[in-house]
Amino acid sequence: MNAAGGRWSWDSSYPAPAKLNLFLRVTGRRADGYHLLQTVFRFLDHADRLHFSPRADAAVRLLTPLPGVPPENDLSVRAARLLQDASGCRQGVDIRIDKHLPMGGGLGGGSSDAASVLLALNHLWQLALPRQRLQEIGLTLGADVPVFIFGRNAFAEGVGETLRAVELPPRCYVVVEPPVQVPTAAIFAAPELRRDSPPIDARGWTPDDIGNDLEAVACTRFPAIAGCLRHLSAAAAPARARMTGSGACVFAECSDPHEAATVLRRLPPGLRAWTSAGAGAHPLLDLAG
């Protein structure tokens, strides 16, 4: 069921929610260069919105291309075409995305869009591919895509593909968007990045474990992130602000919407910031079995 209580259809608006990394450790590096991670993903209510229109041919068109990103390279277009190839489907689609999540922000915007494309078109094209198969397709697009298809807040390991659902308490978050876009590859390629954090048992993780091994590298290379962390930590004290993913966005956890609104008001004028509730599950969870 969608948010309006009806069935998902071609007329629906499909959400692609943001995620936060509540902690992130780099525990090693594989021979192929991919980094081994541990992290907890938390979904937010803040989301891009996707709209789909069927086509009479097999073409996939993105009606809202991002500046500087050729449509054929967009993760959403690539996701739709991979789904066609995996299923033998010859249906086409026009895709329109209302963007609310920043590029290079560490909120999973492009990955979330791609996951919602896979979930929505698997439903709209009546392909009935199982969730695990969609996750496998998603992993070829990026390490963050599978968790959005998995559909639950999760403890992730490996390169992000080994997922274990976790129950998280209701919380609200204040998110600040620094005026920079962070290229994930550049952060992971940094020679000063720590790559030997000791792994922890997923069953032993608690919300008190909040470190992010990528934060120091991102702050050094993008001082605007460090500045936003200082401003948000001051506004949210005694809570400590932290960075999500490889940046650039930073966040602070609050107990309820009132506290989040108070922290938001304490921020200096001119910062791009917003509040969001943590979500218990992906809003498209019911679109795959």
Residues taking part in catalysis: 19, 144
Radius of gyration of the CA atoms of the chain, in A = 19
Helix (H) or strand (E) holding 111: helix 109-124
d(CA 185, CA 246): 9
The H helix count followed by the E strand count for the chain is: 8, 10
Helix (H) or strand (E) holding 93: strand 92-98
Q: Where are the alpha helices (DSSP H) in 125-207?
A: 131-139, 145-150, 184-189
> And the tokens for 235?
């506004």
d(CA 143, CA 130): 19
d(CA 110, CA 103): 7
d(CA 253, CA 271): 18
d(CA 121, CA 209): 37
Q: Where are the alpha helices (DSSP H) in 177-267?
A: 184-189, 215-221, 223-236, 257-266
Which residues, at least 6 apart from 62, have a Cβ–Cβ distance to it below 8 Å?
Answer: 71, 74, 76, 77, 94, 95, 96, 97
